[in-house]
Each structure stands twice: as C-alpha cells, then as structure tokens.
Structure 1
Amino acid sequence: MRLLGAAGAAVLLAACATAVGTAYQPVDTKGYGYSETRIERDRYRVVFAGDGATPPEAVEDFALLRAAELALQNGYDWFRVVGRSLDYAEKGGVGVGAGFGTGSYGRRSGVSVGVGGDLGTIGARKFYTARLEVIFGEGEPPEDEEVYDALEVTQTVRARIGAAGGA
C-alpha cells in the first residue's frame, strides 16, 4: 500500500512540474536555445534545442530564424536547407509496471512462475532538437531547391514570436 501511495505522489509531482518553454536565445547553461557551427565560408550547421514545453513547430521555426539571421549577418540573401532533422528525447515522468508471480515455500522443491510488464511512463515530456545544415547564397535563388528568403523568414518568424508572447 505504501508503494502505491508513493507512486501516486510521484505521478502528481510529475504532473505539477511545468517547463516554461525556451525563448529564442543563444544556448543557455541548461543546453536550451540556438547554436551554430561554421562548416565552410557559406555553409553552417544550426541547432535549436527546446525544453519540454517548447513545441516541435517552434523549435523548427527558431532553427530557421537563426539560419536566416546568419545569412543576413554574412551578407547573403537566401539560404538552402541541405540537411534537416527533428529529434526528441523523453525526460522525466514516472515509469509504471505490473507484475504477477507465484511460488512455493517450505521443505519441498517447487516451481514458480512470474509475469511482468512495462506499462509505460506517465508525465514524461518530449524535448525537441532541430538540426539544419544550410548553404547561403546571394542574388536570385535557385528554383528547384528548398530555398528560403532570409529577410522574409526573419520577419515572419519574429512576427509569430511576438504574437505568441516571446516563446
């Protein structure tokens, strides 16, 4: 009975724990925010990692925004996404399992059978990370590629951030 009470208390605590959502910012001490790595003169890897309250769409938008800012800061007009991934890790929560067993006690030998199973995790959050590899360009963008106008992406995503209250 104590074990059941402890598990219930843990579930309630996990449900009450709230993440705040990662703002658009350079990576912080907890590892949330954007970072970039220059690969070549006109090629970067951009990463945005969100906390458990940052939805995957925001994580992807923030990675695109950082790519657009880098393009503009380096004198480019557009960027092409040549590689992309969106990954997540589940953190927190309480594992729930069930089991059943039988046994024989006493002087005689016996046979025992046990059955158990994992019922999953309650209260876990998904922490999303978007990774982009981008190539910058100037002038007229190619039409057959996944190309973004850097100025337009910056304006559109910043407007959406403002409408959502910053995160």
Structure 2
Amino acid sequence: MKALSRKTPALRALAMTAVAGLALAACATATPYQPAGFNGERGGYAEQRVENNRYRVSFAGNSVTSREQVEMSLLLRSAELTVESGYDWFATVNRATDRDTRYVTTPDPFYSRYNSFYGPYWGPSWRYYRGGFWSPWDSWSNDFDTRQIDRYEANAEIIMGRGPKPAGDPNAFDAREVIQNLSSRVTRPPLR
C-alpha cells in the first residue's frame, strides 16, 4: 500500500498533463483562409494595390500553421485577386516567406515539488537522498521543457495580365488553374 501512495502524485501529474494536452490540442487550429483581422484572428490574408495591375499580397499564419499552408494561401489569394480584377494570369515579382521563431520555457509537468517520503519542501533545506545530500536548488531538481514556436508570413508583389500566361516564366501562374488546384487544400474558417 505504501508503494502506491508514493506513485500517486506522479500518476496525478500524468493524468492532469494528458487532460491539459487534449484541451490545448482541441483549441489549436491553423489560421483559416480569411482576411486578416477577421473574427479577431491575428493572421490571414491582406492585399494592397500598388498600380492598376500590381498588388502586394501577404498571408500570416499562427504557430500551428505550416509554411506550406501559408505559401499555398498566398498563391490562392493572389489568384483570386487576379480573377476579381478581370485578369487571367499573375506573376510574382518579389516573393518571400519569413519565419518568426521564439522559445517558450515551462516547468516540466512530470517534475513534482512534492516528495511522497519527505512531504512538500520549501526553502533551503537539505535532504539525505540515495547515499548523498541534495537541495531543492540542485541542477537536476529544476527541470524545464523548452519549445520552439515558429510563425510564418509569406508576401509577394504580383503583376497581373490578360490572355495566356507568359511561356517559360516560372514565376507566372494561370489564376483559374491555381484556384482550381489549391482552393480545396487551404484551411477554411469554421461555419457559424
């Protein structure tokens, strides 16, 4: 019975971590394909007209939106904007994808400040442990997890044209073909 009571805090911590992880996973979804700032979302697409047939287009994702999704959304918005403006093709003049990386450090959920043999400990106390002495401030007792969080933003300056796209230009896209191929592959906002 005593062995079970020693494992109880660890099992409780494991169960709480699993529940918290499932709750967080349910909330974490990729940035939907919609205008920036729509429904309070930080990310999304935006455009600015530079000339009659030239725009700056961007798409920003959140921390769970992949680079591929961000770049695909940028191309889709460029194609939709081209068709909405009465053009047939677009070419990217400048195109870039930026990655914003930050690191978040949190206490390890499996590290417990409660030792079932000694009870809770606070302050500078020393304990005899497996043949040696340790303190709550020993290097192994302060265990942390560090996560890397990446956010991607893609932007492009596009020029639009009518008729068939320029042959041999790898930066030119048929707008209707892009819409046909990519519109089903982007994350759409949930229906309300």
TM > 0.5 between the two? yes
RMSD over aligned Cα atoms: 2.6
Q: 1:70 aligns with which of 81, 91, 112?
A: 81
Q: CA deviation at 1:88?
A: 1.1
Q: What is the CA–CA distance in structure 2 between the aligned matches of 1:68 and 1:155, rounded to whole Å?
A: 10
**Conservation of the 8 A alpha-carbon contact between 2:36 and 2:44:** yes
Query: Counterpart of 2:183 in 1: which secondary structure?
Result: helix
Q: What is the CA–CA distance in structure 1 between the aligned matches of 2:55 and 2:88, rounded to whole Å?
A: 15
**Conservation of the 8 A alpha-carbon contact between 1:89 and 1:126:** yes
Q: How does 1:75-90 map to 2 (within 5 A)?
A: 75-90=86-101
Q: What is the CA–CA distance in structure 1 between the aligned matches of 2:180 and 2:146, rounded to whole Å?
A: 39
Q: CA deviation at 1:67?
A: 0.4
Query: Counterpart of 1:127 in 2: which secondary structure?
Result: strand
Q: TM (normalized to structure 2)?
A: 0.60
Query: Counterpart of 1:159 in 2: which secondary structure?
Result: coil
Q: CA deviation at 1:30?
A: 4.4
Where structure 2 has 5 or more consecutive residues not aligned to the other structure, the ranges are 1-16, 108-144
1:106 counterpart residue number: none
Query: Counterpart of 1:68 in 2: which secondary structure?
Result: helix
* Structure-2 change in CA distance of 1:133 and 1:77 (3 Å): same
Query: Counterpart of 1:87 in 2: which secondary structure?
Result: strand
**Conservation of the 8 A alpha-carbon contact between 2:58 and 2:74:** yes
Q: TM (normalized to structure 1)?
A: 0.69
Letter in 1 for 2:60: A
2:71 counterpart residue number: 60
2:185 counterpart residue number: 160
Q: CA deviation at 1:61?
A: 0.4
2:134 counterpart residue number: none
Query: Counterpart of 1:123 in 2: which secondary structure?
Result: strand
Q: What is the CA–CA distance in structure 1 between the aligned matches of 2:100 and 2:185, rounded to whole Å?
A: 26
1:5 counterpart residue number: none
Q: What is the CA–CA distance in structure 2 between the aligned matches of 1:41 and 1:144, rounded to whole Å?
A: 24
1:140 counterpart residue number: 164
Q: What is the CA–CA distance in structure 2 between the aligned matches of 1:166 and 1:70, rounded to whole Å?
A: 17
**Conservation of the 8 A alpha-carbon contact between 1:71 and 1:150:** yes
Give the aligned length.
130
**Conservation of the 8 A alpha-carbon contact between 2:71 and 2:97:** yes
Query: Counterpart of 2:76 in 1: which secondary structure?
Result: helix
Superposed CA deviations along residues 108-150 of structure 1, whole A, max 9, x for unmatched, are: xxxxxxxxxxxxx822310000001100000022113211010
1:23 counterpart residue number: 32
Q: What is the CA–CA distance in structure 2 between the aligned matches of 1:127 and 1:25, rounded to whole Å?
A: 17
Superposed CA deviations along residues 77-104 of structure 1, whole A, max 9, x for unmatched, are: 00001110000112451189xxxxxxxx
**Conservation of the 8 A alpha-carbon contact between 2:34 and 2:188:** no
Larger radius of gyration: 2
**Conservation of the 8 A alpha-carbon contact between 1:94 and 1:124:** no
